[in-house]
Amino acid sequence: MDLEKLRHSCAHVLASAVKELYPKIKLGIGPTIENGFYYDFDLSGIKITEDDFPRIEAKMKEIISKSLDFRPVKLSPEKIKEFLKKEPYKKELYEDFKKESKNITFFGHGDFIDLCKGNHVSNTKEIKVFKLLKTAGAYWKGISSNPMLTRIYATAFPAEKELKDYLKNLEQAESRDHRLLGKQLDLFSFHEESPGSVFFHPKGAIIYNELLGFIRSEYKKRNYQEVITPLIYSKSLWETSGHWKLFKENMFLLNMDDKEASLKPMNCPSHVLIYKSSIKSYRDLPLRIADFAPLHRNELRGVLSGLFRARKFQQDDAHIFCSEEQLESEINSVLDFINYIYKKVFDFDYEVELSTKPSKSLGSAELWNKAESILKKVLVKNKLVYKVNPGQGAFYGPKIDFHIKDALGRKWQLSTVQLDFAMPSNFEITYEGSDGKKHTPIMIHRALLGSLERFIGILLENYAGKLPVWLSPVQVILLTINDKNLKFAREIKKKLEENEVRVELNDKQETISRKVRDAQLMKIPYIITIGDKESESKTLAVRTLDGKVKFNLKVENFIEELKEKIKSRK
Amino acid sequence: MDLEKLRHSCAHVLASAVKELYPKIKLGIGPTIENGFYYDFDLSGIKITEDDFPRIEAKMKEIISKSLDFRPVKLSPEKIKEFLKKEPYKKELYEDFKKESKNITFFGHGDFIDLCKGNHVSNTKEIKVFKLLKTAGAYWKGISSNPMLTRIYATAFPAEKELKDYLKNLEQAESRDHRLLGKQLDLFSFHEESPGSVFFHPKGAIIYNELLGFIRSEYKKRNYQEVITPLIYSKSLWETSGHWKLFKENMFLLNMDDKEASLKPMNCPSHVLIYKSSIKSYRDLPLRIADFAPLHRNELRGVLSGLFRARKFQQDDAHIFCSEEQLESEINSVLDFINYIYKKVFDFDYEVELSTKPSKSLGSAELWNKAESILKKVLVKNKLVYKVNPGQGAFYGPKIDFHIKDALGRKWQLSTVQLDFAMPSNFEITYEGSDGKKHTPIMIHRALLGSLERFIGILLENYAGKLPVWLSPVQVILLTINDKNLKFAREIKKKLEENEVRVELNDKQETISRKVRDAQLMKIPYIITIGDKESESKTLAVRTLDGKVKFNLKVENFIEELKEKIKSRK
C-alpha cells in the first residue's frame, strides 16, 4: 500500500474533522512527513490540546465510516473566490501557486474541499489505522513574523501491528530523549540567556573533548593539519563566497569597523584565506586543513531542538585542496576515514548516496564527468552500495552523503563529501603545477561526525545514555560498603587515576544497594563495590550496566583490560 | 634626575620646534609614556615622515641651546581666547578641563606657550640627550570618528649611554617582533576580512594546542572542571552582570530573536549560569570551573597590535566558587599554580601587586578586611614580596596582579586573581551550608597565562622564536646529505613519530649547508644531518640552535632524552 497516499488522505480527513468540530478555524497546510503527517490550523482563539484528541479521532472515524470517495473538484471562479475568502491561508497559497502554474486543483471528500495537488486513496474506508500524536506551535510558512498556527501531528498505517510497532519505537525514542538524558546525567543545560546554544557541564565537556581528541588523533595519522581561525568576517568575504546572497538569513549579523559583518556559519572561506596567505606549488598539495571553530547559524527559535539543532556548534570540518590527479586517492582516503569511524569505532551501519550534476551547474561537462566517474569508481572500489540521486548535486559540484542507522533503526545523515569547482575560482586560488603553469585546485568539503553537538545527541539516544567506556564521563565508580574499606578503595582510586582512568569514589553513609542504583542511573560502565572480602583479598567485584557481576578480579588485570578497552575505543 | 620632568619638558621643545618649522599645524596632546613621550599634531595637510626628523631634531637643539627657562604663564582672558582660537584641539581640552577645575594653567619657554599642568625641568639646557623615534597615525582622543592626527614618538635620557642602551634594546625587541616571527615561521597571519582576529596556521595551532593541553593537564591534577559555553548572550544577562553599563562599547552587539545581545567579552556570567543550573550545597564547594571559550572585544582598529591586542582571544580562564572558610586554601592553590607555570615551566621572574579596598566599594568592611588579610597572609606564606596599591582594588573585591619579566627586561602583566563579592549577589547564587542555611559563595576570577594569543606573542619575543622543544611546531628535522641515506632517515623518522615527536624530513636536492641554514631560520631545536657515516654506524649527528653539534649519538638514547625533555617541558 502507498503510505504516502494513505497519510495524505488521512490528513484531509483530519482537516475535515477539525473543521466540523470547530467551524471557525482556518486551514493552513497538511503535508506528509517521515512516519506520518501533520495539519496546521489557525484556531482563531480556540485552544486544542491533546485532551481533545479522542473527540477529534472519534469524528475522524465517523467521517471514515461514511465511505466517502476522494475526488477532484472542479470549482467555478465564483466558488473559488468564495472558498478563498473563508480560508485566508489557502488564498495566500493559491496566489503563490498561480505564479508558477495555471492549473490549480481542488480535491474533496463529502462536503470537505481542499486546495490540493491530489494523490489520495480512492475512498475514506481504506483508512483503517491512524493516530493523533501531539500538538505544537508552528509559524505560518516557518517565518517568525507570521501568525503562530497550531500543528497537529498524526500518523496512519495499513495495519494495527505496524502502528503498534511504530508507537513502541517512538516511546523508546522518547525515553532515550537526549535532552532528558543530558539533564539526568548532568551533561549539559540550556538557558534562556542564549537560546539554542549548549552549556556543556563538566561531564558533557569530557564527552566533547574525547570525541574531539579522537578526531584529532586520526588527523595526525592521516596528515590533516589543524588551524585556528576567526569567527567574525566582513560582508565582502561572504559576497565573494556567495553566502551573503544565499545564506544571509541564517547568519548572525554585526558591525565591525562600522561595516556589515557576520559570525561565520561555515569554515570554508577561512581556509581559502589561509591557502592564499602564501604562494602554493604542486608540492604543497594535497593540503588538508582541519578546523574545530565554533560556527553560528541563526535558526528560528521554533526549530531549535536540543543538541540536534543548535545555533552554535562545532564540526569536525576539513577542506582538502588537491589537483585533479589527486582526487581519486583523496576521496578514497576520506571513505576509509568514514568507514573507520562509523563501522570500526561506533559499529554503525550506513547508507551512501551520490548526487550528480544538476541542470544548472558550474564547471565544464568534462570536469563533472570525470569527477563523477572518479566518485563512482572509488565507491565501487570500497565495496559500497550506493544510491544515485540524479541531478541532485550542488551547482558547484557532485557530492556523496552518508546516513547511519541507529539502534532504533532511525537514519541520520552525518558525513558529506562535497566537491567544489566554484569556490577556488571565486577566490582565485591557484597552484604552480610541475609544468610551471598556474592551475586551479579542486576543493573537497568534508565533515565526518558533522556537528559534534548533534553527534553527541545521536550517541546518547543510540546508546540510551550507556556510552562506550572511552566516552563515559565517569568510567569507574568505587562504592564502599563501610568505612573500614575506605583505605583499599582509595588505593584503587589512586591506581586508576595513575592510569588516566576517570574514577569516582562514593563513600557516603548510604546502603550499598542505594549506591549501586545511583551509579546505574548515572550509567557508569564499571561499578565496583568494596567490602571486607575485597579489602582482605585485595580483589575486585565489578558490576557492568548489563547487570552482570564479576567477582575476585585481580586489580592489575582489571586495570589492564580497562585500559585496553579505552585505548581501542571498544 | 626625574625622567618624567625631563621627557615632559622635551615634549614641549618638540612641539615648539614643529610649530616653528610648520606654523600652520595645530597642537594635540603630548604626554610622557613608558620609555619616552609623544606629541600629536594636526598637520593641516602637510606630511611629516621620519625623513624630516633630522631637521626637526636640529631645530630642537637650536631651541635647547638658547637656554630658555620653563615658566608658568599667566594669560589674560583675552590672551587665552586668542590662543584657543588658534588651537582648536587645545580649546576642546580647555573646555573639558573647565568642567573639572577652575584653575587651568599655561606653561611656556621662549615664545612657545602650552596648556599644561606643569612639571618641567627649570631650563632647556638640562635636556641633553633626546631622539625622535617614529611617526604614527592616532585619532584625536582615540575615537575613530575624530580626525586622524600625526603622532611623533620620541625619548629623552640624562646621558648618551642610557639612550644607546635603550635603542639597542629597542632594536633587539624589533628583531624579535612576534609579527615578523609569525610570518617567518609560518605560525599565523592576519587578514583584512577579519581585522584583529588571528588566523593560526598549522604550526601556530600546534603551539596553541600544546599550551592549552598543558593547562588542561594541570587542571586535571588540580581538580578544575572544564565546561564549554555559548558565545552569544542576551542583553538581560549583561545588565545583571553590570557589563551592559560599563563595557557595552567594547562588545560586539547583534540581534538574537529580535532582541539585543552580544558576543561575550568574558566568561564569568556563563559560569554563574552553570552554577545556578542545580542546587548547590557546601559539599559541592569549592567548585572550580574552567573555560577556553573564544572571547571577543571590539577594540579600535588603531590599538590592535598583532597577538598582543586582538579582538578574538581565548583565556585559560576559571572561576572558583568557594566559602569564606575555603578562601585561604584556594588562594594558596592559585599562587602555587602560578608559581609552577611562571617559574618552574617558563623560568620567568615575576612581581606581585596587591590592590586593596577603594573608597567606593561593595561588601561589608569586615569582609574586605578579612579577605585582604587572607590575601596578605597567603602571599607571605608563599614568600612572595609584594607591593600594595592602596585603594586600587575593584569596587567588588581586592585583587592580586602578577607581572613577569621577559628576556629583554620588559614587564608583562599576565595573571590576575580577583575576588568578587558582587556578582554572586547580583545573580543571587547561594549554597546550603552545613548549618542548613543559605549562604552566598565568594567568586574568584583567575587567569594564569591570560589571553593565549598574547602569551604566545610574549613567548615568541622572549625566546626570539626559539621556543622550548615541547612548544616547537617541528621538534626535529632530518637532513639527508644524499639519497643513499634516505632509508636510514626514514627509519629514524618513523621511530620519532612512534614516540610522538614532531619530525620533518628534508630530502630535497640541496646542499647540506643550505638545508641547515633553512632549518635554523625555522628555529627547529634539533637539526640532524644524515650522511654515509651516520647511515653506516646507525648513529646521529645532532645540531642545536646554539650552534653546538653532538656526534655519534645512539638513536635510542637521543629519543629517550628528547622524550624526557618534552615531557618535563624543559
Could you say which of 2.60.40.60, 3.40.470.10, 3.30.980.10, 3.30.70.940 is the CATH number of the domain covering B3-175? Answer: 3.30.980.10
Burial A126-159 (b: 16+ CB within 10 A, else e): bbebbbbbebeebbbbeeeeeeebbbbbbbbbee
CA B322, CA B161: separation in Å to the nearest integer? 53
- Could you tell me what percentage of chain A is helix, strand and coil, using 3-state DSSP and rounding each to the nearest 5? 40, 25, 30
ipTM: 0.83
CA A199, CA A205: separation in Å to the nearest integer? 9
User: Catalytic: B10?
Assistant: no
User: Catalytic: A120?
Assistant: no
User: Cell numbers 480527513 correspond to what residue?
Assistant: A13
DSSP string, B446-511: EEEEEEHHHHHHHHHHHTTT---GGG-SS-EEEEESSGGGHHHHHHHHHHHHHTT--EEEE--SS-
- The model's pLDDT over B5-22, given as tens digits with 9 standing for 90+, comes to 999 999 999 999 999 999
Which residues on B lie below 8 Å from A296 (Cβ)? 231-232
Could you say which of 2.40.50.140, 3.40.50.1110, 3.40.630.30, 3.40.50.800 is the CATH number of the domain covering A476-568? Answer: 3.40.50.800
Residue B182 φ then ψ, to 5°: -60, -35
Q: Is A51 exposed, middle or buried (0-12, 13-18, 19+ CB in 10 A)?
A: exposed
Question: CA Rg, chain A, in Å?
Answer: 29
Burial B149-159 (b: 16+ CB within 10 A, else e): bbbbbbbbbee
- Nearest of B286, B172, B265 to residue B223 by alpha carbon: B286
Locate the chain B residue with the closest alpha carbon to A187.
Answer: B227
Residue B1 scores a pLDDT above 80: no
Contact yes or no for B189 and A274 at CB 8 A: yes
CA B149, CA B133: separation in Å to the nearest integer? 17
| DSSP β-ladder status, B71-73 and B112-115 | unpaired
Which residues on A lie below 8 Å from B269 (Cβ)? 193
Looking at residue B171, its pLDDT comes to 86
**Would you kindly state where each structural domain of chain B is located, as residue ranges?**
3-175, 181-227+265-462, 476-568
Which residues on A lie below 8 Å from B312 (Cβ)? 230-232
Question: Residues with Cβ < 8 Å from A261, sequence gap 6 or more?
Answer: A232, A233, A234, A235, A253, A254, A255
For residue B317, what are the β-bridge partners? B291, B447
* Distance of alpha carbon B412 from the chain centroid: 6
CA A82, CA A105: separation in Å to the nearest integer? 15
Which residues on B lie below 8 Å from A232 (Cβ)? 194, 197, 252, 296, 311-312
B253/chain A closest Cα distance in angstroms = 6
Chain A contact for B252, CB < 8 A? yes
pLDDT in single tens digits along all 570 residues of chain A: 689 999 999 999 999 999 999 999 999 999 999 889 999 999 988 999 999 999 999 999 999 999 999 999 999 999 999 999 999 999 999 999 888 877 899 999 999 999 999 999 999 999 999 999 999 999 998 887 899 999 999 999 999 999 999 999 888 888 899 999 999 999 999 999 999 999 999 999 999 999 999 999 999 999 999 999 999 999 999 999 989 988 899 999 999 999 999 999 999 999 999 999 999 999 999 999 999 999 999 999 888 999 999 999 999 999 999 999 999 999 999 999 999 999 999 999 999 999 999 988 888 888 899 999 999 999 999 999 999 999 999 888 999 999 999 988 889 999 999 999 889 999 999 999 999 999 999 999 999 999 999 999 999 999 999 999 999 999 999 999 999 999 999 999 999 999 999 999 999 999 999 999 999 999 999 999 999 999 999 999 999 999 999 999 999 999 999 999 999 998
Chain A contact for B274, CB < 8 A? yes
For residue A381, what are the β-bridge partners? none
Of A317, A401, A406, A420, the active-site residue reads A317
Q: Is A419 exposed, middle or buried (0-12, 13-18, 19+ CB in 10 A)?
A: buried
| DSSP β-ladder status, B399-405 and B411-420 | antiparallel
- The model's pLDDT over B172-188, given as tens digits with 9 standing for 90+, comes to 888 899 999 999 999 99
Superfamily of domain A181-227+265-462: Bira Bifunctional Protein; Domain 2 (3.30.930.10)
- The model's pLDDT over B198-239, given as tens digits with 9 standing for 90+, comes to 999 999 999 999 999 999 999 999 999 999 999 999 999 999
- Calculate ∠ Cα B204-A226-A454, nearest 5°: 135
- The model's pLDDT over B403-458, given as tens digits with 9 standing for 90+, comes to 999 988 889 999 999 999 889 999 999 999 999 999 999 999 999 999 999 999 99
Contact yes or no for A202 and B225 at CB 8 A: yes
Cβ atoms within 10 Å, residue A393 = 23
